[in-house]
Structure formats: structure tokens, C-alpha cells
Structure 1
Amino acid sequence: MILYGRQDISPQDIAAVVEVLNSDFLTQGPRVPAFEQAICDLTQATHAVAVNSATSALHIACLALGVGAGDLVWTSPITFVASANCALYCGAEVDFVDVEPTTGNMSPAALKAKLETAQTRGRLPKVIIPVHLAGHSCDMKTIGALARQYGVSLVEDASHSVGGTYDGDRIGACSYSDITVFSFHPVKIITTAEGGVATTNDARLAEKMALYRSHGITKAVEKLQRPDEGPWYYEQQELGFNYRMTELQAALGLSQLDRLQTFVEIRNRLAESYRSALTGSAVKTVDPLAGSLSAYHLQIVRLPDPAKRRAVFEKMQADGIQVHVHYFPVHLQPYYLGLGFKEGDFPDAEAFYRKIMTLPLHPGIKVKEVDYIVECLLTHVST
């Protein structure tokens, strides 16, 4: 089976983890701060807060921005459910902004219209979470300008995008947002097994996120609210969580970062092979914005006939090709239907979903396998 995504673990990665296993610290040691600094060096963001998953990072990002009961958070309906759930964890309400029909990313035009209506109704969101689907950056310049105009905070869900660029900056630099979140799940660009990080240029937000990731506890003398009772003393100042990244995860992440550029280059070469092979056919690739560099977490294509997708999907699987679909619209999940959403609420997202399929893309894929995948796909689409 040609897998749609998988981790790439080297002997150096294994050695880095074994070194931690033989050390004094399996958690709360020096590797996590080193990994955070490496992420800052990569993205040019001022602060990075490493956690045990991107879901945790999204949650503490919302908390740090003050999201709570009575607030509203908007995100994309074409994403993994965590992009929306993070707001619900805070007691807020969630709504969605429709997507661009060809990219699946948040539509600036739809966002502008929705913000205008929301302002008229006196119900603006507190936070907007655009999602960089497949590693392709959203139009953050336009989205950022709209957020500033309406006084709304921005969190980039860049779970697919570490190593990518937009408008000359690394994704994660927070040039247009308050916070950016990355994921290091095994099928992502680099992995820490499970793990995530939030970057920001705001020291106050970084401090809050660091507090929330570890039970809301601090030992910093200058932050204590009661008299210091001794070297053992700590205070819980917020209702936080155990979202810490372990030393094992951070060591793996540090080692993987050494190959990040190589991984991104390989993914882009494979994506170009797909694009070239499909040019002129009825199958269309989902491509990044001009002038940006996608990390290419996913190779998504749009099929010409939505009615045939399931048959094509099953035939591809029978050919030994693990295709996938990213994503079923969040607002149509049973839980969200229970919140009052319904089919037809976001027509472009629903139409995009009905056409898409994810093809295998990871550093272990060979060009000859791309040729085989495309040959099978075009055969099944045309029959």
C-alpha cells in the first residue's frame, strides 16, 4: 500500500531520543526550551510555547486571547474539528466563514461580507482562526487587514505549514496574526510523535500560554501573589492544563528540524510532478498562492464528477493506493448539527468537499509511484 502520509525517522532521530532516555530529564528539562528557541529561529517569531498537541496549542491560544463564555470564534469549515473545538473548550460559540472554491482556504470576500453583517448586528467575533489547508497559506495580508479594521484577534492554524512561507516571511512569524499554531503529528512535515507549538511576538500572550500549559502554575518569584514561603513554593494562578511537551518529543523535534528544508523541498518536487502529470486533464490540483512556498502537507485534487468520487476512491484503494479526503465540513458533523448548523450554510465549502481527494505525498514517495498513482486516477476518473 502506498500510504498517503507517514513519518520519516532517521538513525539520528533515534539517537536523539535515546540520549534523553539515558539523561536525568524525561520531562521539564533543557530540550523543550531548546526546541522552542529553534522554532523561534526558524520562524523569526519572538516567542514559542511547545505543547503536547496542536489541539492544546489552539486551546491555550484562545484562552490567552481571553476567549470565554459569550464570545464568538470564527474558523473555516474545511479543517480538522480541533480548529473549531478549541473555542468550545473555552465556553465560547463557534461560527464558520465559507471558503474559496478552488483552494478550500478561508475566503477573504466571504469574511469581509460576514464581518460587515456582524458589525451591523453588534456581534463581531473575538477571534478568527484561518486554516492553511494542505500547507498552503491563506491570503493573510487581506485577512489581517480585515481583522485590524474590525478589532478582531487572529490565530493562524498552520498545523499543515511548518517550513512554508507567505509574502516573504516564514509562516509562524505572526506578521499578520497574534498567534500561529503548528502540529507535529506523525503525518505532518516534521514530527515529535504527538506535539504542537504556538508562536507569537507578544510577550504577554506567550506568558499566558506557558501558564495555561502547566496547570496554571508558576514558581517565578516576581509573579507570586502571596508571600514567598521558600524554594519549594509555587502558586496556581489560573485553571490550567497538563499540556506540556516531553523531553523525548522535543529531542525528536530538534533532530527532525535539521531535515525540515529537505522535507519541504521533496514535497514540493513531488507536488510539481503531480501538477505536471495532471495538466490538461479533468483532475485539478489544489495549488498554493503565487509567491508563497507551501510545506505541502497534503496533495489535494478536485475531481470532475463528485458522484463518482466514492467509486474512484475504492478503486484507488484496491490498486494499493491509500487515498483520503481532507476534510468533511465541520459544520455538518453530528455534534455541530446539534448546535444548529445545517446543510447549505456554507455552500462553497460543501461543494469543495464533494469534489476533493487527497493523494499520497510524503518524503518516502518515489516519482515512479506518482506516475502510477496518476495513471490509476485518470483511468478510474474516465471510466
Structure 2
Amino acid sequence: MIPYGKQHITEQDISAVVEVLKSDFITQGPKVLEFEQAIAQYCHAQHAIATNSATSALHIACQALGLTEGDWLWTSPISFVASANCGRYCGAQVDFVDIDLNTVNICPKKLKEKLVLAKQQNTLPKVVVVVHMAGLSCDMQAIAELAKEYEFAIIEDASHAIGGQYQGKPVGNCQYSDISVFSFHPVKIITSAEGGIAVTNNEGLARKMRLYSSHGVTREQATFTNGIDAPWYYEQHCLGQNYRMTELQGALGLSQLQRVDEIVSQRQQLAKKYQAILSGLPITWQQSVDDNYSAYHLFVIRLNDDTKLTREQLFEALRKANIGVNVHYIPIHTQPYYRELGFKQGDFPVAERYYQGALSLPLYPELSEQDFDHITTTLHALLD
């Protein structure tokens, strides 16, 4: 089966991990710090806090921003559930903003409309989590202007988007956001097996996120409140979690980061080949804009209304041909957990329309020419 996504591990990556296994540190140590510094430098951000997953990074980002019971978090309905769950972890109420069908990202116009109404109802969000779907950045400048007007914080869920650019600058530079989060899951752009990271330009937020990621415990003497400065002493300043990244993950991520631009370039080339070869079929795909350079974590097609096969029929036919297509994503508000919170079918019609026809094709740098030809030939045979 040709998978929709796949990690690419080189001998350099293996050597980096083996080196750590032979060292004195396999949990916390210098490689995690080095990885954090390298990510911050790559993104043109000031601070980076590595975690054991992007879900954990989203959680500590919400905690650092003071999200709590009685607050609202808004996000996109087209994402993995973690983009919304991070608000629930903090006791906040969650709502969604419908997408733009072309970009599959939060629609700034719909966000504006919802903010106007929320202000009248005194239900403005404290945090908006924007999701860079499939590696394509949201319209961050427009969203940041709304954030200033309506006084909410912005978290970029950039799990799909490391190596992408917006307005010629790296995604994650936090020019238009408070915190950005990346994922290093095996199917993402680069991997640390599991792992994530939160980046920010705000020193105070960085300090809080580091506390929340490690039990709320600090060894920084300048922050001690008990007046004790013994060399073994530490203090717990808040209720945190054990979300720390290991040295093994840090070493693998650091090695992979050296190839991120090459990996994204290869993904770009594959996406353009798909677009060229599949043009003319009754499908569409995510539309980029002039100031965006997508990292192309995914290549999602969407069946037109007049396509002769249903999405389920096409899914099953492609799987039967050993093509491991997938669907990204089932709208979060239709999940049973969120239905119990009051959401229902029809609440976000554009997201639901997108979902009805969405199908993710295999896309990763090691996708062979033979497999690529098999995918595109099969699609033409089924849809022509």
C-alpha cells in the first residue's frame, strides 16, 4: 500500500540518534536545547520550547496565555481535534469559525462577522487558534488586525507548515501571532518520531510555557520565593505537566531540520506535478495565494458535485489499487464529544461541504516516480 505520508530517515539521522544513545543523556540534555535554538533561528523567532507532541505545545500555549474556565477559544472546524481540545483542557468553551473553501483556512470575513456578533453578546474569544491547513498559511495580517481590534491572542497551529512562508518570511516568526506551534509526527514535514514545539517572541510567555511543560518546576534562583538558594533546591510555581521532549527526539529533529528546505521543495514539485497531470479531471484542490509558500504537508483534492463517483467509491477504489488515500479532516464540530457540547450538522456549512468531497493523495519526498504514475493513471481511469 502506498501511504499518504511517510517519514524519511537517513543514515545521518540514525547516526545522530545512536550518538545520543552512547552519551550520558537520553532524556533531557544538550540536544533538546540545541534543537530549540535551531528551530527559533530557522523561524526567526526569539524563543522555542520543545515538547513531546504538538498537542502538548498547544496546551501549554493556552495555559501561558491564561485561558481558563469562562473564556472562549475559537478555531477552525477543519483540523485535527487537538486544535480545539487544547481549549477544553483549560476549561474554556470552544467555538469554530467557518473556512474559505478555496484555501481551506479560517475565512477572515467570517471571523469578522462572528466577532461583531460576539461583542454584542459579550462572548468574544480570549484565544483564536488559526490552523495552516496542509501547510498553507492563513491570512495572518488580516487576522492580526482583527486581534488588535477585538483584543484576542493568536496561536498559529502550524503543525503542517514548518518550511512554509508567509509574506516572504518563515511561518513561525510570530510577527502576527503570540505563539506558533509545530508538529514533528512521522507524517509531518520533518519528524522527531513524536514531538512538537512552541515558538514565541514574548519572553514572559516562553518562561510560562517552559514551566507548564515541566511540572511547573524551576531551578532558576532569580525566581525563587522561599529565600532558599541551596545548589539542590527547586521550586514548583504552578501546576504543570510532564510534556518534555527527550534527547533522542531532539537529536533526530535537529538532524532532520538540516534538510527541511530541500524536503519542502520536493513537496512543492510533487504538488505541481499533481496539478499539471490531474487538471481536466472533475476535481479541485487547495488554492494558494501570492504571498504564500505552502509546505505541502498534504495534497488534498476535492471532488466536484458532478463527479461520477462518490468520495466513498473513489476512496475504496483507490485503496483497492493499493493507494493509501486518507481524509483530512472530519469537521471537529460533528464529533460526538462536540455534539454533546451543543454543536450540530449545518453549523459550519462550508467546512461540511469541503469535507464531503475531500481526499488526501500520497505526498512525501520518497514517493517514487512509478508510484506517482500509478496514482495519477488510476485517478484518470476512475474519473475521466
Give the TM interval when normalised to the shorter protein. Answer: over 0.9
Q: Structure 1 runs of 4+ off > 6 angstroms?
A: none
Pairs aligned (count): 382
Residue in 2 that maps onto 1:322: 324
Given the alignment, which residue of 358, 371, 374 partners 1:372?
374
Across the aligned residues of Structure 1 and Structure 2, the Cα RMSD in angstroms comes to 1.1
Task: Give per-residue Cα distances to partners, 1:272-322, cap 9 Å, x unaligned.
Answer: 000111223211121322231111000001112487110000000011100
Q: Per-residue deviation at 1:366?
A: 2.5
Q: Trace 1:88-99 onto structure 2 (pairs within 5 A).
A: 88-99=88-99
Displacement of 1:102: 1.9
The answer for the alignment partner of 1:200 in structure 2 is 200
Aligned partner of 1:6 in structure 2 is: 6
| Matches for 1:278-357 after TM superposition, within 5 Å | 278-305=278-305, 308-357=310-359
Instruction: Check if 1:360 corresponds to 2:355.
Output: no
Alpha-carbon spacing, 1:229–1:200, altered in 2? closer, same or farther (3 Å): closer
- What CA distance in whole angstroms lies between the structure 1 residues aligned with 2:269 and 2:335? 35
What is the distance in 2 between the residues matched to 1:99 and 1:88?
21
The percent of aligned pairs where both chains have the same amino acid is 54
1:43-54 matched pairs, under 5 angstroms: 43-54=43-54
Could you tell me which residue of structure 1 aligns to residue 236 of structure 2? 236
Shift of 1:324: 0.4
Q: Give, in whole Å, the separation in 2 of the partners of 1:178 and 1:205.
A: 8
* 1:123 positional shift: 1.2
Displacement after TM superposition at 1:368 (Å): 3.9
Q: Which moved more, 1:169-178 or 1:98-107?
A: 98-107
Contact 1:273-1:367 at 8 Å conserved across structures:
no
Residue equivalent to 2:17: 17
How far residue 101 of structure 1 moved from its aligned partner, in angstroms, is 1.3
Please state if 1:33 is matched with 2:33.
yes
2:275 matched residue in structure 1: 275
Deviation at 1:229, TM superposition (A): 5.0
Do the aligned residues in 2 keep the contact of 1:118 with 1:124 (CA within 8 Å)?
yes
Letter in 2 for 1:213: S
Q: What residue identity is the alignment partner of 1:334?
A: P
| TM-score, with structure 1 as normaliser | 0.98
Cα distance in 1 between the residues matched to 2:59 and 2:166? 24
Unpaired stretches in structure 1, ≥5 consecutive residues: none
Q: Which runs of 5+ in 2 are unaligned?
A: none
Partner of 1:221: 221
How far off its partner does 1:230 sit? Answer: 1.2
Paired AA for residue 150 in structure 2: Y
Deviations 1:324-378 (A, max 9, x none): 0000000000010011000000000000000110000001112443232122123
Q: Residues 221 and 229 of structure 2 are in contact (CA less than 8 Å); yes or no, is this contact kept in structure 1? A: no
Hey, what's the Cα distance between the residues in 2 that align with 1:292 and 1:278? 22
Letter in structure 2 aligned against 1:323:
V
Shift in Å, 1:120: 1.1
Deviation readout 1:157-211 (Å, 9 max, x if unpaired): 0000001000111000001000000000000000000000001000000000000
How far apart, in 2, do the equivalents of 1:350 and 1:98 lie? 9
Does the 8 A contact of 1:273 with 1:370 survive in 2? no
Q: Tell whether the 8 Å contact from 1:277 to 1:371 is kept in structure 2 after alignment.
A: no
Contact 1:102–1:352 (8 Å) recurs in 2: no
Structure 2: which amino acid aligns with 1:298? Answer: L
**Deviations 1:22-76 (CA, angstroms, capped at 9, x unpaired):** 1011122101110011001100000001000000000000000000000000000
Native 8 Å contact 1:166 1:293 kept in 2: yes
Q: Is residue 2–residue 324 contact of structure 2 (8 Å, CA) maintained in 1?
A: yes
Q: Deviations over 1:99-126 (max 9, x none)?
A: 0112211011110000000011111000
Equivalent-residue separation in structure 1 for 2:67 and 2:26 (angstroms): 33
- Which whole-Å CA distance do the structure 2 matches of 1:291 and 1:338 have between them? 39
Instruction: Give 3-state SS (helix, strand or coil) of 1:130's partner.
Output: strand
